[in-house]
């Protein structure tokens, strides 16, 4: 399939798409992902909703009392678009780096860039100068728009050729103040459905980051597949979540999915599990996106009564243990929706809801996607056997000028780097990241399975399992455990007793050879800015002998 004529004057993105022979096979025949050749996803998520449901609907909320309607968000996004074009010389195809926590103006600016034909580069607000410099080197942004509170590290990055504008500080050159005097209507650039709308950087834990290239149609496709068929949102829903909008999990759950159906979204800059529970109760939130640890923590701290308004809760970013699913369901009556997605695929492609859920399973392929389990040569393995997860659908991996495209896409399939098995009913069961399988004395041991067994112990708040080199066995299973408040940890004797207690607990849950031969208690697990456990840091820690 040939690309449509592009509206981009700046052709950087088109010029740096991977060669077509390295693209994944895109599945575009599903009836819900049929889009016209000309498509601007900002118009579809704002203008079309207003045409259908009116401008007065609540749209964007914030804990400080901010409440913007759809009409107000559209007006502010249009003012931003005018400012970008008239003050900053933005032309279609220019890349604009965004740096801010989740708040209404970040969303208005995101839409303003897209309406003006720009390409959004969302970044985590806690990235340091070195990381921002790498992003700049890869994506070549012409402009960065930054919350004034996070400006210093961005300026320290010194990205060549990138102008910087701030907002929220009230300075004379504040972009928000400049936008206030501009017209509240803007005729969006008529981008092609396959023009790049966004460069999303992988939240990988090692190596040079990768920029994934997503089209305007891709942004809508994640709403018209996972959200429409699994999440099943309603216009009266109130969404919220803790992932940054710069993380594609957060972008979908906190912006794209609610706005696609005319719902509202509560944008939270930062919240502990207890604070999240308070916000859910205060704002009558009905749909929540966060990590398994947060759901477990809300139960453990007695916050269940504050979750009465929830009808949907989505877990991703880490494997959802069956014990956490069962505990949350028992406490709230809500069936957690597990899911696996990736930055490369933009959002969730395997996940189930309601009666289709099997606790402990990630679920079945989302309508519009196909998935299978393959061996190292790409051949499908029998049900019940572990192998590499391969997936394809209306979205797919396109790295910006990166040779690692050859590793992620093979024979038209996206190879996610996860080890799964599939059962006879078509449910997919997570085993581990493909590089996290532990081989000990010839046995293949899934770290995720050991973690799930540990998580059923009432004193375990969270845990992570890694391999430790061992001369006799090749590797040992080591568990890093964060104990729940009040659990006995005082003194070496108590610590040793707790280790034996946890080891015996695992032996009672799964095959005894899988138990963690080493257990270390820590205060917190190291995580990326998107909340993923950095197991490589734990492996380094284990290797140091500490």
Question: How far is residue 455's CA from residue 448's CA, in Å, rounded to a whole number?
Answer: 10
Which pLDDT band, with edges at 50, 70 and 90, does 241 fall under? very high
Mean pLDDT of 78-97: 98
**Residue 545, pLDDT score:** 54
**Is pLDDT above 60 for 206?**
no
Whether the predicted pLDDT of 477 surpasses 90: yes
Mean residue pLDDT of the chain comes to 92
More confident call, 489 vs 186: 186
Q: What is the pLDDT of residues 242-270, one digit of tens each?
A: 989 998 999 999 999 999 999 999 999 99
Which CATH topology does 436-543 take? GMP Synthetase; Chain A, domain 3 (3.30.300)
The domain locations on the chain are 235-435, 436-543
pLDDT of residue 221: 98
Q: Would you place residue 205 in the very low, low, confident or very high pLDDT band (cuts 50, 70, 90)?
A: very low
The per-residue pLDDT for range 462-472, each reduced to its tens digit, is: 999 998 887 76
* 518-521: strand order across its sheet: 460-470, 474-483, 518-521
Of 125-139, 160-174, 201-215, 299-313, the one with minimum mean pLDDT is 201-215
The separation between CA 31 and the C-alpha centre of its own chain, rounded to angstroms, equals: 26
Q: What is the bridge-based pairing of β-strands 119-123 and 95-99?
A: parallel
Strands (E), 382-503: 387-392, 409-410, 413-422, 428-433, 437-440, 443-446, 460-470, 474-483
φ, ψ of residue 356 in degrees (nearest 5):
-80, -5
User: Using CA atoms, how far apart are residues 464 and 436, in angstroms rounded to an integer?
Assistant: 11
Q: What is the pLDDT of residues 508-536, one digit of tens each?
A: 877 777 899 999 999 999 987 667 788 88
Q: With 70 as the cut, is the pLDDT of residue 435 above it?
A: no
**pLDDT at position 130:** 84
* Helix residue spans in 95-161 (DSSP H): 104-115, 129-139, 151-157
**Cα dihedral 323, 325, 328, 329 sign:** negative
The pLDDT of residue 436 is: 65
Q: What is the pLDDT of residue 442?
A: 56
CATH superfamily to which 235-435 belongs: ANL, N-terminal domain (3.40.50.12780)
| Cβ atoms < 10 Å from Cβ of 396 | 25
Global pTM value: 0.84
pLDDT tens sequence across 352-378? 999 999 999 999 999 999 999 999 899
Residue 493 has pLDDT above 60, yes or no: no
Q: Does the pLDDT value for residue 207 go beyond 60?
A: no
The arithmetic mean of pLDDT across residues 44-63, rounded, is: 97
Report, as an integer, the average pLDDT of 456-465.
92
Integer Cα distance of 525 and 519 in angstroms: 14
Q: 211 near 399, Cβ under 8 Å? A: yes
Most confident of 278-287, 298-307, 411-420, 490-499: 278-287
């Amino acid at each position: 399939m040939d690309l449509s004529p592009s509206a981009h004057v700046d052709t950087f993105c088109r010029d740096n798409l991977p060669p077509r022979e390295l693209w994944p096979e895109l599945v575009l025949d599903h009836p819900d992902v049929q889009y016209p050749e000309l498509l601007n996803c900002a118009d579809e998520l704002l203008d079309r909703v207003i045409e259908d449901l009116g401008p007065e609907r609540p749209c964007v909320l914030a804990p400080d009392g901010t409440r913007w309607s759809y009409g107000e968000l559209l007006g502010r996004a249009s003012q931003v678009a005018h400012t970008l074009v008239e003050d900053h010389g933005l032309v279609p195809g220019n890349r604009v780096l965004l740096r801010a926590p989740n708040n209404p103006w970040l969303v208005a600016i995101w839409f303003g860039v897209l309406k003006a034909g720009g390409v959004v580069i969302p970044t985590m607000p806690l990235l340091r100068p070195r990381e921002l410099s790498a992003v700049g080197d890869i994506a070549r942004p012409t402009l960065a728009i930054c919350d004034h509170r996070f400006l210093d590290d961005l300026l320290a990055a010194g990205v060549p050729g990138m102008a910087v504008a701030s907002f929220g500080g009230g300075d004379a050159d504040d972009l928000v103040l400049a936008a206030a005097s501009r017209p509240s209507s803007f005729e969006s650039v008529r981008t092609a459905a396959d023009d790049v709308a966004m460069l999303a950087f992988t939240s990988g834990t090692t190596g040079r980051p990768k920029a994934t290239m997503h089209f305007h149609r891709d942004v809508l496709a994640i709403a018209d597949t996972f959200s429409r068929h699994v999440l099943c949102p309603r216009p009266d829903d109130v969404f919220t979540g803790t992932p940054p909008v710069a993380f594609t999990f957060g972008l979908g759950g906190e912006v794209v999915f609610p706005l696609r159906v005319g719902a509202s979204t509560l944008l939270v800059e930062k919240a502990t599990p207890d604070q999240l529970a308070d916000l859910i109760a205060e704002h009558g939130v009905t749909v929540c996106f966060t990590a398994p640890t947060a759901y477990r923590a809300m139960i453990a701290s007695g916050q269940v009564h504050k979750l009465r308004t929830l009808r949907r809760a989505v877990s991703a970013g880490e494997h959802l243990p069956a014990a956490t699913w069962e505990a949350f369901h028992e406490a709230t009556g809500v069936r957690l929706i597990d899911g696996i997605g990736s930055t490369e695929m933009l959002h969730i492609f395997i996940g189930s809801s309601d009666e289709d859920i099997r606790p402990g399973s990630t679920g079945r392929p989302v309508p519009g996607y196909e998935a299978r389990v393959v061996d190292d040569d790409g051949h499908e393995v029998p049900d019940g056997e572990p192998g590499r997860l391969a997936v394809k659908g209306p979205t797919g991996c396109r790295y910006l000028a990166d040779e690692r495209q050859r590793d992620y896409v093979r024979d038209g399939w996206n190879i996610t780097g996860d080890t799964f098995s599939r059962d006879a009913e078509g449910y997919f069961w997570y085993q581990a990241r493909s590089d996290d399988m532990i081989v000990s004395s010839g046995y293949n041991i899934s770290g995720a399975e050991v973690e799930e067994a540990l998580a059923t112990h009432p004193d375990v708040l969270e845990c992570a399992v890694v391999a430790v080199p061992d001369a006799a066995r090749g590797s040992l299973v080591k568990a890093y455990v964060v104990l729940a408040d009040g659990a006995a940890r005082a003194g070496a004797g108590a610590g040793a007793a707790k280790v034996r207690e946890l080891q015996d607990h695992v032996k009672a849950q799964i095959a005894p050879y899988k138990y963690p031969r080493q257990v270390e208690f820590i205060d917190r697990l190291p995580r990326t800015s998107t909340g993923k456990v950095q197991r490589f840091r734990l492996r380094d820690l284990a290797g140091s002998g500490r």
